[in-house]
Structure 1
Amino acid sequence: MKSILVATDFSERSDRALRRATMLAKQTGAALSLIHVIDDDQPERIVESERDAASQLLYEQSATLRNMDGVTCDTQVILGAPFAGIVQAVGDRTPDLLVIGPHRRQALRDMFIGTTAERTIRSVACPVLMANSPPVGSYRNVLLTADLSDGSHSAIDSFASLKMAGGARTSVVYVFDAPTLGLAIGHAMPKEDKEYYLKKECEDAARKLAQFMGPLDVELAEHIVRHDNSNPANEILTVAEETEAGLIVVGTRGRSGLAKLLLGSVAEAVLRKAEVDVLAVPPKRYQ
């Protein structure tokens, strides 16, 4: 990884993104770029005042990063809507990674579609790291997600190329479906038969996951398969909690991608609910 772009609005949420990006820059040797977008749909004098203030804050932050952290850093103030400004910066700079702070969680936790974070993740061509957790150090545990699709293959491959894991313990989870249990015949099956069927499905899922991961250059501590007993996102988040993952890696378009345009419904649900960092990776044809 050579370049990391950080979008900041100088809030506490953005401070998380900046600190995590700084840790990753030091870990990988990447250069940082800090951008701040000012809404230009307001009186010119206000725009000019905000631009001057933002330029000064960015200068101070970049000086600290260079002098205290030893990280190469440049800055830019962009005029426009937050979403459009970030997308423009990604298009102009083509960073290896974009880091943003967590979206503002509403009273209803499903209020994610339409936020700047979601629109940005849907629109940019590079991996996006949503820094949800206060960064206290390098990642110790990372959870990769696989649905055995080209999208998840691309996401895992891109994650490996970014060298973000460092020395973290890395696991992969595959949430599989057991279709017979949802049919009428499944409801009529004796308990012992259901358990036997589910065991066989689990063994088959484990074999498929091993075959899927074989060609990928990722050192894994554990392969995890889970029956989709509720929904894939909930199973993923449960496994993340069990493995104490500080980072979850998801592809933004897998088998369920048509449900949310370019943002798969599983990825959207994980991004909406996760309390830890999430790396959302688009398919390589969008990178």
Structure 2
Amino acid sequence: MLDINHILVVLDSEHPEQIALDKALWLAGRVDADITLLTAVYEPYAGENASLDEETRVRIRDARTDATQRWVDSFLPELESRGLRGRSEVHWQKHLHNAVIESMRHTDFDLVIKGTAPHSLMDRIFTHTDWNLMRHCPAPVMLVKSPQPWQHNRVLASVDATSNDEGHRTINDNILQYAEHLADHFETDLHLVNAYPQIAIAFAMVPEVSAPDDIQKYITEQHELACEQLARRYNIAEDHIHIAEGETLDVVTQVAKETAADLLVVGSVGRTGIAGVLIGNTAEQLVDKVPCDILVIKPQDGVPAAADAE
């Protein structure tokens, strides 16, 4: 589960720089993994429902696919020059995330790497490659913001330490196992961050209900104990445990900045529907908040792909 032997790199021909490839070259060299370069190409007027005759559609499709294949293959010499094993795939797909899902039906990749940039609300609704990969890709997804190797040697794992839900406990273990694995491979410091709720604010919203005495102290102690137990299990130093009161999004963002983390490892349960678009998961909101790369882990190493292609 944790060995990184096969890395899938998602290339986007619309972006002039392929920062995912640069980061993947560095990572693969450190863990001795092979790399598959993948992209998608599609022309609506050459699709199955287009008005053109079949022969013309096939010629257009072949020409576009061949040109895109040559573009992807142009990156392979860089892999060879570094002594890395590589190959390429071009898929006739309207959306990049569908190409990734299709590829993973035939190959078990241990890690998917893609470059990312700040997203607007319109991006979330209409340009949803990142969100679909985070929610549906059956492998951990690393969204990278810089082509440079990690500079500060710090991996930050975000957990919900006191959750009794089996799904969250599974995610916690997956997050920390993967974070520990990366920390060992790259000889980085492993940090843990956990946010706990502001009970005073919650009770202030229902003034007819009085907060029990010392409830905040009890909650704080429970989170401290749970984090200490996780830290011992995953060899995290005591001074690398960060626990703070507040919203998870705010606490994790602040700690990522304060620790100068190179990578944030988080979990996602894959919220869907209109709530997923307008609200999103904490992991998805963190992508645009933290200054570092982010690695998204899902329960059971992934969730089934959804029919969200249009």
Band of TM-score, shorter chain:
0.7 to 0.9
**Structure 1 regions of 5+ residues with no counterpart?**
189-193
Aligned partner of 1:83 among 84, 97, 100 = 97
User: Tell me, which stretches of 5 or more residues in structure 2 are unaligned?
Assistant: 47-56, 162-167, 304-310
Query: Residue 245 of structure 2 corresponds to which residue in structure 1?
Result: 227
- Does 2:116 align with 1:102? yes
1:121 is matched with which residue?
A: 134
Tell me which residue corresponds to 1:282: 298
Change (3 A) 1:165 1:145: farther
Aligned length: 275
In the TM superposition, residue 112 of structure 1 has moved relative to its aligned partner by 2.7
Change beyond 3 A, Cα 1:163–1:242: closer
- Structure 2 length as normaliser, TM-score? 0.77
Matched, 1:112 2:128: no
Q: Is 1:140 aligned with 2:153? A: yes
2:124 counterpart SS class: coil
TM-score by length of 1: 0.82
Q: Which residue of 1 aligns with 2:38?
A: 35
Tell me the C-alpha RMSD between the 2 structures: 3.3
Corresponding position of 1:247: 263
Mark the CA change 1:162 to 1:140 in structure 2 (over 3 Å): closer, same or farther.
closer
Q: Is the 8 A contact 2:231 2:241 kept in 1?
A: no
The yes-or-no answer on 1:209 pairing with 2:209 is no
Cα displacement (A) at 1:271? 2.2
Q: Which residue of 2 aligns with 1:191?
A: none
Q: Does 1:157 align with 2:171?
A: no
Secondary structure, counterpart of 1:70 in structure 2: coil
CA–CA separation in structure 1 for the residues paired with 2:114 and 2:263: 14
Q: Which residue of 1 aligns with 2:54?
A: none
Helix, strand or coil at the partner of 1:94: coil
Q: 1:275, CA displacement in angstroms?
A: 3.1
1:224-275 per-residue CA deviation (whole Å, 9 max, x = no partner) reads 10101xx211211111001001211001129x999649x9721121124333
Paired amino acid for 1:249: V
Percent identity of the aligned residues?
Answer: 20
Deviation at 1:13, TM superposition (A): 7.0
Report the alpha carbon displacement of residue 214 of structure 1 after superposing the two structures with TM. 3.1
Distance 2:196 2:125 in 1: 26
Alignment-mate amino acid for residue 49 of structure 1: A
